[in-house]
Amino acid sequence: MARIVVVGGGWAGCAAALAARQAGAEVVLLERSDSLLGTGLVGGIMRNNGRHTAAEEMIALGGGDLFQVCDRTARHRNLDFPGHRHATLYDVAWIEGNVRRHLLDAGIEIWLLARVNGLERSADRIAQVVLENGTAIDGDVFVDATGSFGPQSFCAEFGNGCAMCIMRCPTFGPRVSVAGLAGIAEKRGRRGGGSIGAMSGSCEFSKDTMDPTLVQALEHRGVLVIPLDEELVDEDKLKGKACQQYASVDYARNVVLLDTGRVKLMTSHMPLDQLRRVPGLANVRYDDPYAGTIGNSMRYAALSPRDDAMRVQGVANLFCGGEKAGLLVGHTEAIVTGSLAGHNAVRHAAGRELLQLPESLAVGDAIAHVRRRMQTEAGMCEKYTFSGAGYFRRMQERGLYSTDDDAIRARVAATGLAGVLARPVEERKAA
């Protein structure tokens, strides 16, 4: 049985671990902090716009477990808010435990507080990764799902300093790229003006700091849109957001609140003294990031060169998913790329041809399109998501966006790949 080591326990890493396990491998998942999911701990949004299509394609392909866990943890379904339709909001307080139990039930070995900071490489292969405490973890194939956030020096140089976000670098150490440790030259994303990186796009505060009447309305509707007085409007901050689907003027001229168990404020930052001038928010304080007054965490510090099978170029037995795989934004995008990386890690170990998802599917088209765009200077200044901005327009133009689940399943069936991610990969027999 192949041994697959996944480094990074965010959405991409969890998806990679599940896919590798479903393909028949022994799987070890290493996470530097004390819990899984990373930004999923404060995210909460699924199935908005083209993400519904991508989720249903992955379910039909056999890689939909995490979407179904989110569905079971939903607080609101079929929710509309500015620029977005039919969203599901999962409960951020419950999601990590539900995902962790699902992985453990699948037989995945999870190591928390396991920060990788070294590796052993022979020729074009990684033999083992080494933890901060000196423990060496052997594997046949590795998946880099370490993300692209931070470290603190990156947030200080290209953002507004450490905002004390959910990544908690001061406590658990900065993110370390496996590809970087292997000597692979990685890229950094850019904003439209040419500056490096992009700022995360939302903040959180607790319901018990908000006016009870607003809490009641928010829990009933799932979303509140509160217009801002003109002197509180700051449209310039929209330019720096990673989540370009939330960079429309609606998110500068209104306070948009979502009920994810906590209160999700759909802006990259807003000075607390200004936020408290909004009716009903006079007593709020930021829970994530704690320094939400000055900004949020910076992303796209380290993007790996990869092919459409999610293999990192330059290391034969290293695959990648999530933001390591490019300028992709969102949980759905991380699950898609992570699932393919984990599945192909097992195919590689078994000596099988790697799977590339066809471009007749939204998930396959996104993977290929982002890789091609990132080979251009202009493409490195864009962000890509199923839920908005340029890629969602592309989905619509190419007829890939659909909310007809039967039609989506039929489209997957037409590729001959229905259930492929749920089936064990057999090792190739020697001739």
CATH number of the domain encompassing residue 48: 3.50.50.60
Last residue of a domain, one of 288, 310, 335: 288
**Domain presence at residue 293:** no
274, 307: one domain: no
DSSP state of 73: T
Residue 76, Cβ density class (10 Å: 0-12 exposed, 13-18 middle, ≥19 buried)? buried
Q: Note whether 344 and 316 are within 8 A (CB).
A: no
163, 243: one domain: no
Q: Whole-angstrom Cα distance, residue 8 to residue 11?
A: 9
What's the total number of domains in the chain? 2
Q: Whole-angstrom Cα distance, residue 223 to residue 23?
A: 39
Q: Note whether 165 and 289 are within 8 A (CB).
A: yes
Q: Whole-angstrom Cα distance, residue 61 to residue 158?
A: 39
Q: Whole-angstrom Cα distance, residue 190 to residue 100?
A: 34
74, 136: one domain: yes
Q: Whole-angstrom Cα distance, residue 94 to residue 71?
A: 12
**Domain presence at residue 61:** yes
pTM for this entry: 0.96
DSSP string, 85-130: EEEEEE-TTTHHHHHHHHHHHTT-EEESS--EEEEEEETTEEEEEE
233, 381: one domain: no
189, 207: one domain: no
Which residues, in sequence order, are bridge partners of residue 298? 199
**Domain presence at residue 180:** yes
Tokens encoding 138: 């052997």
Domain containing residue 347: 3-194+299-422
Q: Whole-angstrom Cα distance, residue 42 to residue 425?
A: 34
Amino acid at 150: G
Last residue of a domain, one of 228, 262, 288: 288
**Domain presence at residue 182:** yes
Residue 27, Cβ density class (10 Å: 0-12 exposed, 13-18 middle, ≥19 buried)? buried
Q: What is the pLDDT along the chain (431 residues), one digit of tens a residue?
A: 899 999 999 999 999 999 999 999 999 999 999 999 999 999 999 999 999 999 999 999 999 999 999 999 999 999 999 999 999 999 999 999 999 999 999 999 999 999 999 999 988 999 999 999 999 999 999 999 999 998 899 999 999 999 999 999 999 999 999 999 999 999 999 887 778 998 888 999 999 999 999 999 999 999 999 999 888 887 776 555 545 555 668 888 899 999 999 999 998 888 999 999 999 999 999 999 999 999 999 999 999 999 999 999 999 999 999 999 999 999 999 999 999 999 999 999 999 999 999 999 999 999 999 999 999 999 998 999 999 889 999 999 999 999 999 999 999 999 999 999 999 998 876 55
Orientation of helix 331-349 relative to helix 11-22, angle to 10°:
40
Tokens encoding 48: 């908005």
62, 146: one domain: yes
Q: Whole-angstrom Cα distance, residue 69 to residue 390?
A: 28
Which residues, in sequence order, are bridge partners of residue 299? 198
Last residue of a domain, one of 254, 288, 322: 288
